[in-house]
Amino acid sequence: MANIILVGSQWGDEGKGKVVDIYTEFADVVIRFQGGGNAGHTIVIGDQQIILHQIPSGICHPDKLCIIGNGMVLDLETLVEEIELLRKNGYFFDDSQLLISEEVHLVMPYHRLLDVGKEKKAGDKKIGTTGRGIGPAYADKINRTGIRFIDLFDENVFREKLEINLAEKNPYLANQLDQPECNGNELFEKFTALGENLKPHLTNTSVTINRLIQEGKNILFEGAQGALLDIDHGTYPYVTSSSTTAGAACTGCGIGPTKIDGVVGIVKAYSTRVGEGPFPTEQHNEIGERLQEHGKEFGATTGRPRRCGWIDTVVLRHAVRVNGLTSLALTKLDVLSGMEKIKICRAYRIDGCEVAEFPANIQKVADSAPVYEEVEGWNQDISAVRRNEDLPSAAKNYINVLQELLGVEFILISVGAKRDGTILLKNPFTLERI
């Protein structure tokens, strides 16, 4: 009887896939509302690892409905591959388990070529994108030249939109970016066929979601990326091209903010970032290497090594504020086991002053010196712990210090990649103790 949004509180890769998979037990419906194939949400069930890019992470629960909202940018070619992979792994045999918004904008092959070509051309000024065409697809949406899923079913509209886009993009691809041109007829044939193939999933998802809300279903809105990659509130321009914060769930699904009951922020027990951009607590030393190795910090979408560092509560307080977080889930706490001391960044020193709020000027962020609080580490392997009271006192203290600095409580602690590597403290929908 509640609708909650789940978002990343750092630079993405906080472990949202696992938490969504667990929270799906309590939900009836799981909905993605922004981003696209740039996301890589990992779920581990037994010895099986599944990485989802566009399909909501609730899909491995056969009795739950999953929805791709209008706010995403959808790559139909890789969506079909994702569906095939799920079926090979024994999931998603009932087409009615997935609904897709008629209004969702499509990532076309020329968006991927533009993304890759622009990054190459930018040299050391590159953003470090995932190369999935996300930025160019959102740019077309805002420019009002994007192709929406519904357009595939009107031959004239689709042909005209393709013509307009290719007349603009092909010369740019060939002459400026040294990338191949796209053939309009080939794209028309391919995407018309993809549209027909995926048509059973297509609907007015805003109507469906509002009806489900009225029926009193528990709905989980699954964010992708993280607050510091948000187009408005992140380390611009080193961000993704969508709103990754909680407000996007409303515009990205066609529901009103009055329908939202809570926002859960996913917090990794340390910080990571893929791609370029400032990262004050980054550790270019054996601490960073250890976190990368123990945390298996390699991108789920691109395989790139993630930059690693200490947890940063300046970043996290920013995430609490811009998302209105009402509770938190702490992930990968087990990765910190065996560290003698653990550092928590509580402020930045910039131009001789202590600063508690995340600055808008990213040069200031890059030049800042983190002000750390140091707490004791713990030696015990905590991956088999299932109750809060069984955690070592130093781990409990780490959680308490974070809670105090952030002013929001943790309702889940993750101590391993698998579903059962979890200390569930509260039901995210009712906030009742478990």
Residues binding ligand IMP (CB under 6 A):
11-13, 38-40, 127-130, 132, 134-135, 224-225, 229, 238, 240-241, 274-275
Q: Shortest gap between Cβ of 123 and ligand IMP (angstroms)?
A: 16
Q: Shortest gap between Cβ of 12 and ligand IMP (angstroms)?
A: 3
Rounded CA separation 104/200 (Å): 15
Rounded CA separation 192/5 (Å): 34
Residue 36 or residue 195: which is nearer to ligand IMP going by CB? 36
Residue 195 or residue 265: which is nearer to ligand IMP going by CB? 265
**End-to-end CA separation in angstroms for the chain:** 17
Rounded CA separation 326/337 (Å): 27
Q: Shortest gap between Cβ of 270 and ligand IMP (angstroms)?
A: 15
21, 41, 53, 233: the active-site residue: 41
Q: Which amino acid is at 302?
A: T
Residue 5 or residue 209: which is nearer to ligand IMP going by CB? 5
Q: Shortest gap between Cβ of 224 and ligand IMP (angstroms)?
A: 6
Radius of gyration of the chain (CA): 22
| 1 in Cβ contact with 213 (< 8 Å) | no
Output DSSP code: residue 104.
P
Q: Shortest gap between Cβ of 275 and ligand IMP (angstroms)?
A: 2
| 59 in Cβ contact with 317 (< 8 Å) | no
Residue 135 or residue 280: which is nearer to ligand IMP going by CB? 135
CB-based closest residue to ligand IMP:
275
**DSSP readout, 109-137?**
HHHHHHHHHHHHHHGGG-----SSSHHHH
Q: Shortest gap between Cβ of 114 and ligand IMP (angstroms)?
A: 11
Rounded CA separation 351/349 (Å): 7
Q: Shortest gap between Cβ of 272 and ligand IMP (angstroms)?
A: 8
Q: Is 41 designated active site?
A: yes
Q: Is 308 helix (H, G, I), strand (E, B) or coil?
A: strand
Q: Is 13 designated active site?
A: yes
Output DSSP code: residue 344.
E
13, 21, 75, 334: the active-site residue: 13
Own/partner contacts of 288-294, CB < 8 Å, gap of 24 or more, are: 290/339, 291/335, 294/335, 294/338
Residue 241 or residue 337: which is nearer to ligand IMP going by CB? 241
CA 35 to chain centre: 7
Q: Shortest gap between Cβ of 251 and ligand IMP (angstroms)?
A: 18
Query: For strand 48-52 and strand 41-45, is the pairing parallel, antiparallel, or unpaired?
Result: antiparallel
Rounded CA separation 178/298 (Å): 29
Query: For strand 202-203 and strand 98-101, is the pairing parallel, antiparallel, or unpaired?
Result: parallel
Residue 256 or residue 303: which is nearer to ligand IMP going by CB? 303
| 270 in Cβ contact with 311 (< 8 Å) | yes
The number of beta carbons lying within 10 Å of the beta carbon of residue 268 is: 27
Residue 14 or residue 28: which is nearer to ligand IMP going by CB? 14
Residue 202 or residue 322: which is nearer to ligand IMP going by CB? 322
**Which tokens sit at 296?**
């298996």
| 29 in Cβ contact with 66 (< 8 Å) | yes
The residues annotated as belonging to the active site are: 13, 41
